[in-house]
Every structure is written in C-alpha cells, then in structure tokens.
Amino acid sequence: MVSRLPLLILLLLLTTAVSRAATQGCLRCHPPHYSGEGSCCSCHRGDDRTDRKRIAHNGLIRARYAAFTLPGSDRVARGKRLLERFGCRRCHTADRQGTTLAASLDRLREKSPEELAWAIDHPAMHMPRFRFAETERDDLVNYLLWLGRDIRGGGKETPLVIHFVGKEQDDEHPFVKRCGGCHKGLTESLGGLGRGAMGPNLSALFTPFYPRQYREGEPWNPQRLREWLKNPRKVRPLAVMPPVVPEQGEGERIAELLTVKGVNAGNTLPQPAAGNR
C-alpha cells in the first residue's frame, strides 16, 4: 500500500495538470473576452475540456448567435421588437403570450441557432415570408434562444392538432373562393387555407397580435372586416384591394374561420436580465 502511494499522487497530479490544460483549450486559439460572464461554454456551449477541435466545437454557438447569454443584450432587445412588429404571436406563443396555431417559441432550448435561422429564411407552409435582412434574422434568433433558455410553466407542451384539408373541401370554403387567391391563413378549425402571396397573411386577424390594425387604434373584428370587404378604399384611400361581395352567409363563415379561441394576451411577468436566467 505504501509503495502505491507515490504512484497515486503522481497520477493525481497528472490528471489535475491535464484537466487544467483542457479547460484552457479554447484560449489556445481564441483570445479571452467577457471573462466575468463565466467559462467559454456558458456562452458558446461546445466542450472546453479538450483541445481537440472537433470535440471542442461540438454544438458550438458562433459569436453572432451568442449575445443572448449576455445581460442587457442589444441584440436580444432588437429581436424582441422584431417579433412584436411582425406579429409572430398571432400564430405562436412567445414569453407566454400569443396563440397556439403553431409551435410555442418558448420551447426552443434544444434547437441550434442554425436550425432557427434556416426556419426563418425558409418559412413553413402558410407562414409569412418576412424576408428579414441577415442582421435582423440574427437578432431574432438571439431573442428566440433567450426565450428558450428555460422552459416556462413546467411540463410538456400540449400537442397541436394539425388539419390536412383536401383540395375539394378547400375549394368549397368561402375563404378560399373569396380570399385565397391573394391571401393565406392558418386557422384553428381547418388548418392552413389559401394559396395567394399578393396580400397579407390573415392568420389570427382578430387577435391583438395582428401586426396592422383596421385603422389606428381600431383592431380588426368581424364587423370591421365586413365593412372592409364592401369598400377597402373607404377605410384606407390608397388600398389596392378591390371590393369583395360575399354571398349570403359567406362573410360570417369567413369571420368565424379567422376567429381564434386559444389566445393568451395577458401581461408578461417582469423579465430578468439574460445572464441571470
């Protein structure tokens, strides 16, 4: 036992030295920055216990997407403003506000920044094509990652009911006949309808999250939609949409289709600094 003690001490010293060298693996190639915010992995993920590049860079978050880990990040603030300006909550829940027409944006902890950026640049069917500039897209990704740093509310997300509507049923609905040539819309009862991209996406038109109101200070509602269809230029003199005259009962069916029941428009809780979450 005594003869083994020096060998054990030597192994312990070697292990400690290797561990110290490994933890500094990132700094062999990269200059230190934001040292007070924690280790390299606390912002960029990856694995700083090794200097083997392929292992160290596994799951790495590049600098352009790592601002969400910093307290008071300007990129996170700009991303939040973009999400509100473009009405992402009309289909998604973000910071516990929004609808459940599409997946929650509060539960993206396992997604890589590249996956999120790709999804924004290549929107899913019936999702608006926002055509963000690259810097705007990266700001939005930082905000989404900030939201996804913890899963709020506990438990698993409620599964979404996805509707696949056949072409024959599509063509019979007044939304498709009267609106679908220029507009698309994601709906609770029938899923995605319409094929047009000329007009704005009408998903969740009657919710407080729709990005443009009927008139300033006047949100959309079924009555205002009917007035709009009669004469869009009476509401907005520069409107390019022609009047639409639905047959009896069609206006009500269109309004009913665009109504979303699962809406959470309550106030959010105070938001802590990103680095303290």
Q: Are residues 144 and 47 in the same domain?
A: yes
Residue 197, C-beta contacts closer than 8 angstroms, at least 6 positions apart: 129, 184
Q: Are residues 135 and 62 in the same domain?
A: yes
Q: Are residues 133 and 58 in the same domain?
A: yes
Residue 72 resides in a domain: yes
Q: Are residues 47 and 152 in the same domain?
A: yes
- Taking the mean position of all CA atoms in its chain, how far away is CA 225? 28
For residue 116, give the CATH number of its domain: 1.10.760.10
Residue 268 resides in a domain: no
Percent of the chain past pLDDT 70, that is, above it, reads 70
Residue 274 resides in a domain: no
* Highest mean pLDDT of the ranges 6-10, 62-66, 74-78, 157-161: 74-78
DSSP 92-121: SEETTEEESSS--TT--TTS-HHHHHHHHH
Residue 25 resides in a domain: no
Q: Are residues 147 and 178 in the same domain?
A: no
- Would you place residue 22 in the very low, low, confident or very high pLDDT band (cuts 50, 70, 90)? very low
Residue 251 resides in a domain: yes
The residue-averaged pLDDT of 234-263 equals 93
Q: Are residues 178 and 148 in the same domain?
A: no
Q: Are residues 142 and 180 in the same domain?
A: no
Nearest residue to 160 via CA among 95, 92, 206: 92
The residue-averaged pLDDT of 220-230 equals 96
The residue-averaged pLDDT of 102-119 equals 89
Beta-carbon count within 10 A of 42 CB: 13
Contact yes or no for 254/224 (Cβ under 8 A): no
Final residue belonging to a domain, choices 134, 156, 178: 156
Q: Are residues 152 and 199 in the same domain?
A: no
Percent of the chain past pLDDT 90, that is, above it, reads 49
Q: Are residues 96 and 199 in the same domain?
A: no
Q: Are residues 55 and 135 in the same domain?
A: yes
Final residue belonging to a domain, choices 132, 156, 180: 156
**Total number of domains constituting the chain:** 2
Out of 91-100, 206-215, 262-271, least confident range: 262-271
Final residue belonging to a domain, choices 127, 156, 185: 156
Residue 188 resides in a domain: yes
For residue 244, give the CATH number of its domain: 2.60.40.420
Residue 238 resides in a domain: yes
pLDDT in tens, 131-161: 999 999 999 999 999 998 765 444 555 556 5
- Would you place residue 5 in the very low, low, confident or very high pLDDT band (cuts 50, 70, 90)? low
| pLDDT of amino acid 244 | 94
Domain of residue 84: give its range: 40-156
Indicate the pTM of the whole model: 0.74
| pLDDT of amino acid 70 | 86
When the pLDDT of each residue in the chain is averaged and rounded to a whole number, the result is 80
Residue 20 resides in a domain: no
| pLDDT of amino acid 63 | 82
Q: Which has the higher per-residue pLDDT, 68 or 45?
A: 68
